Amino acid sequence: MPSEYREIKFTQAELIEALENYQKAQAPDAPPLRPSGLKFSNDIEAFVSVRSGDNSREFSAAEVTAALIRFARKICIPIARGARKAVGAHPGGVVLKLWLE
């Protein structure tokens, strides 16, 4: 049976927009993200840390994946529902990895 592997690369600006949209959907009353910096981690508990002034918000790999899927659908990039999904850092942003077997 054929298999498929895709990587969709997102810039930091696209990641920030995706996380902002995700946060608005999850917590409409939360203050908007105004990032002054991003920090990527290989730790499952906190994949992306967004600094905004004195405050910091951490997003897990699962939250980043959900935010990127939502953003991809918004900008009409098809995402297979049954695909395995993972997220990773790459220079200048993040990559959403998709596997279909």
Sheet holding 84-90, edge to edge: 4-11, 93-100, 84-90
Confidence grade of residue 37 (pLDDT, cut at 50, 70, 90): low
pLDDT at residue 99 greater than cutoff 90: yes
Domain locations in the chain as residue ranges? 11-81
33 touches 23 (CB < 8 A): yes
The predicted structure's pLDDT at residue 49: 77
DSSP code for 14 = H
The distance between the two most distant Cα atoms of the chain, rounded to a whole number of Å, is 52
The predicted structure's pLDDT at residue 76: 96
Element (H, E) at 71: helix 61-74
Mean pLDDT of 55-72: 88
Ranges assigned E (strand) in the chain: 4-11, 37-40, 48-52, 55-59, 84-90, 93-100
The predicted structure's pLDDT at residue 50: 77
pTM of the predicted structure, to 2 decimals: 0.84
What tokens appear for 65 in the block?
A: 């994946």
Element (H, E) at 63: helix 61-74
